[in-house]
Amino acid sequence: MSLTEEKTHILGERIISVLRSIYDPEIPVDVYELGLIYDVQISDEADIKIIMTLTTPNCPVAETLPEEVKQKVQAIDEVREVDLTLTFDPPWSSEMLSEEARLELGML
């Protein structure tokens, strides 16, 4: 199966929707709006590559949050395989918060 440009776009929107349903347990904002997702790449075969970070390398959910992201994206019907890379370069900072997250956290 090879994805068309339209199907790739729709799949990308579904992936973002799933990412917006995953919350960092310490901050009442989802991982997408927190800026923890650095990149999402979709191949023509519906293989997904996600590059993400955590708020700190010592984050209490360092073991579970990336696995939750991987499993929930993998559960999307069209997705064939998910490769998740955890990075700390560049390190996460509050500048990576979306405007929506800043509003939610009272930073605007």
For the ranges 5-9, 71-75, 86-90, 103-107, the lowest mean pLDDT is seen at 103-107
In a domain, 107, yes or no: no
Decide if 62 is inside a domain: yes
Residue 42: pLDDT over 70: yes
Structurally, the chain folds into a number of domains equal to: 1
Q: Is residue 99 part of a domain?
A: no
CATH code for the domain in which residue 73 is found: 3.30.300.130
Mean pLDDT of 90-105: 92
Domain assignment present for 106: no
User: Mean pLDDT across the chain, nearest whole number?
Assistant: 93
Q: Is residue 102 part of a domain?
A: no
pLDDT band with cut points at 50, 70 and 90 for residue 84? very high
Phi, psi torsion values for 52, nearest 5 degrees: -140, 170
Spatial contact of 92 and 37, defined as CB atoms under 8 Å apart: no
Cα Rg for the chain, rounded, in angstroms?
14
Q: What is the pLDDT of residues 46-65, one digit of tens each?
A: 999 999 999 988 888 888 99
1 confidence band (pLDDT: 50, 70, 90): low
The answer to whether position 24 is within a domain reads: yes
Residue 64 included in any domain: yes
Helix, strand, or coil here: 70? helix
pLDDT at 54: 93
93: which DSSP letter? -
The mean pLDDT value for 23-43 works out to: 93
Q: Point out which residues pair with 42 in neighbouring strands.
A: 48
